[in-house]
Copies of this chain bind each other. A is one copy, B any other.
């Protein structure tokens, strides 16, 4: 736990010189540099990052606030951010469970002084005010923001479009009784996907009915339960749109268990197109979301905003989604 002073004393130079050595300044002779380096190595000295950032007011750290850490979605977002951040010399400070607005704010405050900015995914649509406040004090970009008011720097997924497209695809295949397995209510992605589904149904002249909407929470087990319920309902749907792949996979498992053939007796689709979806049986038709890229782009937007000095420039980027047709929906598929 040596400090800069210890090294300076041992090397018989001033602390300024030691500092220069560790900051790559050229204004130091080769001889002194080597001498200092060797002493530092001997005592195991390394600059204290907290102290350094206090004077420079640069921390090279980015805060990441996520509502949860469960599942491949968050994992990939984090990976995308981390990789991009690393390339620009940033580290990431993660806080991964904000059931509500209060914990969100608490976590954000705990990061004050430690981070140069934040990438935030709000827990639900009730956090708009809190987000606004955070964004006024530090450059931040929002992931799938609840606020459409265009006043913030944000990036989100084309949830509505994706859900619309996949429902439309099923309609084109001749399905009329298309059910939806919803994600948790309050969740932004969840709501948007539901809207897209309903809109496509309406556009085809079918009134969306509560009887066709099953509640889920993005987990496999909830998809499984929704599947069991759907099978019982009369008349039984001929197709089911799950709000994410995990639920679709749970759903398929329930259908298999009940002896319902996929896609002949029930077409199934997912959303997110996680890696595993192409390997399940039958391969899952889904809406591809480049989650890794979402994280990567979020960082890029952030650093751009941060470098331009000002507060977060208000601009809302939407990452497009893409329909991936495989066999679970009953159309020809890719194989």
Contacts and interface: CB of A to CB of B under 8 A. Distances in A.
A49 interface: yes
Nearest to A109: B46
Given A109-B46, A112-B49, A114-B114, A275 B220 contact: yes
Nearest to A75: B75
Interface string A57-71: 001110000000111
Contact of A78 (B44, B61, B69): B69
Interface string A259-284: 00000000000000001101111010
Contacts of A86: 95, 97
Contact of A249 (B93, B96, B97, B276): B276
Contacts of A133: 44
Interface in A42-83: 44, 46-54, 59-61, 69-72, 74-75, 78-79, 82-83
Interface string A72-111: 1011001100110010000111111100000000010111
A50 B281 contact: no
A83 B109 contact: no
Interface in A1-18: 1
A188 interface: no
Interface stretch (A178-186, A209-217, A250-258, A313-321): A250-258
Nearest to A281: B281
Given A276-B220, A280-B280, A97 B110 contact: no
A240 interface: no
A53 B53 CA distance: 12
B61 A69 contact: no
B94 A92 contact: yes
A154 interface: no
A59 B61 CA distance: 14
Given A82-B96, A86-B95, 9 more contacts: A1-B137, A47-B113, A69-B78, A78-B96, A91-B93, A91-B94, A91-B95, A252-B281, A256-B281
10 contacts: A44-B133, A46-B112, A49-B113, A52-B113, A69-B82, A78-B78, A94-B94, A220-B276, A246-B276, A249-B276
Interface of A: 1, 44, 46-54, 59-61, 69-72, 74-75, 78-79, 82-83, 86, 91-97, 107, 109-114, 133, 136-137, 219-220, 224, 246, 249-250, 252-253, 256-257, 275-276, 278-281, 283, 335
The 4 closest A-B pairs by CB, nearest first: A48-B113, A75-B75, A253-B279, A69-B79
